[in-house]
Homo-oligomer: A and B are copies of this chain.
């Protein structure tokens, strides 16, 4: 039903865009979850169980998509999100490892 969603070419994404996309606790949490998922996992927005409304969710996923971090595809009635793991690893080597290293306990604070 909706038109084709915009997904930037990998080479067009800038570090500034990616930093801006990740500079938000909700969006960083979404990417942390996706990084920990097996490769090519597709998730609905609601599966992240974020404490925000639908329009806020849509906004956050749009920012992540436009920054080249996720791909969104329509599967029948539901829209699924997938990490653009390979693209990110090629464009920003090491970025996902940074998130993964911090992402073991996305919910809890440091153990000090």
* Interface of A toward B, CB cutoff 8 Å: 11-12, 14-16, 19-20, 22-23, 25, 28, 92-95, 97-99, 101-102, 110, 112
- In Å, the complex CA distance between A25 and B98 comes to 21
- In Å, the complex CA distance between A112 and B14 comes to 13
| CB <8 Å contact, A102 and B12 | no
Interchain CB contact (< 8 A) of A97 among B12, B94, B112: B94
- In Å, the complex CA distance between A102 and B16 comes to 9
- In Å, the complex CA distance between A112 and B22 comes to 25
Interchain CB contact (< 8 A) of A19 among B14, B19, B93, B110: B19
**Which chain B positions have C-beta within 8 A of A99?**
15
- In Å, the complex CA distance between A60 and B94 comes to 26
Say whether, besides A14-B110, A19-B28, A97 and B93 are in contact (CB < 8 Å). Answer: yes
